[in-house]
Structure 1
Amino acid sequence: MVYGYIRVSSDKQTVENQRFEIIKFCQKEKLTINGWIEETISGTKNYDKRKLGRLLKKVTKGDLIIYSELSRLGRNLFMIMEILNICMTKECRVWTIKDNYRLGDDIQSKVLAFAFGLSAEIERNLISQRTKEALARKKAEGIRLGRPLGKAKKVKLTGKEETIKKLLKEKVSKSEIARKLKVDRGTLSKFIKNYIEK
């Protein structure tokens, strides 16, 4: 399968330029696009929260994804490297038009993929280490970690107080009320205790 991937950051940008580039390139290379993936989303948004993430789950060995340029994958180097590493692991090819980048099954691609994977792993470890250090420092400073104590301003059943009061007045069981409101009975009981029986 050959996929054309197009991403723009805002509605003001047009996908047509990227589509034109990909179509022109495919005509030259005698390729047919089997599926288009278009999205209007920031490149800083993690790939698994984008249509790109769904495409990466779907691709199989020998598939080809064509982009206008590498920056369409993401806005930071490590994200791009992680995406390319996934493609390499799945033996899916990645071609870009402007950068003339080819990720395939040759030795150069394999060396690049190894470097990408290693760099991404080092970055994840560094982030994890920095997070642990920051949490340890806050704890040492006496800052309480975790969810703040007290009641949350908004919970799942917020706005349903009157309905619950009415049903309780009508002697409807908590199990039945929970079913009607599509929540767990424990969630309902906790809500009644914290927000209704004040």
Structure 2
Amino acid sequence: MPVIAYLRVSTEKQHIENQKEEIRRFAETRGLTIDRWVTETVSGKTQNKDRKLGPLLRKMNSGDTLIVTEISRLSRTLTEIMSIMGHCLEKNIILYSTKDGYAFDNSINSKVLAFAFGLVAEIEHNLMSMRTKEALALRRAEGIHIGRPAGSNVKLRILIDNRKEIAAMLRQGRTVNHICRTFNVSRTVYYTFRKEYGPIK
């Protein structure tokens, strides 16, 4: 079963050799031989599907081993780290984090630890959602408009500026499609205009 080392740095200025040496020492203590090194320079905030890590995880099979120096090398978001660890547990991929001292395999201890991390991630997600809703509710209560300011859309602005002409076209029996073609806007923009500005006179 292949043993793969994954190394990531955020900028070219950071040195990846330190991570390599850390993983080499760890592998020696475990009697492991690194079969493949995967390195990349990318922000940890970039989703794993947009990094080398995504395809790597999809190709790994049951019994394979993935080694990183720190869990944070997988991602900078707790939610995605949990997703990656869950993927590894489902596929029976062994995951080692050398500095953190974590070993995620099929043991009961690993499953308990992964569950604990997952619970923390879920709580964090729920708290963020709750804080966002509370902040929006407070702004509405203070009379602050939420969303796009009226008229900020360029296409919508065109209809606003030509409101009288549109009213005349409607009185002449022109269709919505005709008006949209005349001003080069979509029906969605037109109906947004009607909704926000009421009956056109």
The two structures have a TM-score, normalised by structure 2, of 0.63
8 Å Cα contact 1:7-1:41 kept in structure 2: yes
Structure 2 gaps of 5+ residues are 155-176, 186-201
Structure 1 gaps of 5+ residues are 154-185
Whose Rg is larger? 2
Deviation for aligned residue 1:124: 1.3
Partner of 1:69: 70
2:137 and 2:50 map into 1 onto residues whose CA distance is: 30
Deviation for aligned residue 1:66: 0.7
1:137 and 1:41 map into 2 onto residues whose CA distance is: 37
- Distance change (3 Å), C-alpha of 1:55 and 1:140: farther
Aligned residues: 160
Give matches, 1:85-100, under 5 Å. Answer: 85-100=86-101
Give matches, 1:5-16, under 5 Å. Answer: 5-16=6-17
Question: Percentage identity across aligned positions?
Answer: 47
C-alpha deviations, 1:82-119, integer Å up to 9, x for none? 43233223322111233332111111101111111222
Match of 1:193 among 180, 184, 188: 184
Match of 2:33 among 20, 31, 34: 31
Give matches, 1:26-175, under 5 Å. Answer: 26=27, 29-33=31-35, 35-75=36-76, 79-150=80-151, 152=153
8 Å Cα contact 1:84-1:116 kept in structure 2: no
8 Å Cα contact 1:26-1:32 kept in structure 2: yes
1:23 and 1:82 map into 2 onto residues whose CA distance is: 26
Deviation for aligned residue 1:148: 3.4
2:60 and 2:4 map into 1 onto residues whose CA distance is: 9
RMSD: 3.3
Secondary structure of 1:31's aligned partner: coil
C-alpha deviations, 1:10-32, integer Å up to 9, x for none? 11112222223334544552424
The two structures have a TM-score, normalised by structure 1, of 0.63
Secondary structure of 1:71's aligned partner: helix
8 Å Cα contact 2:5-2:34 kept in structure 1: no
Deviation for aligned residue 1:48: 4.6
1:76 and 1:93 map into 2 onto residues whose CA distance is: 21
8 Å Cα contact 1:82-1:116 kept in structure 2: no
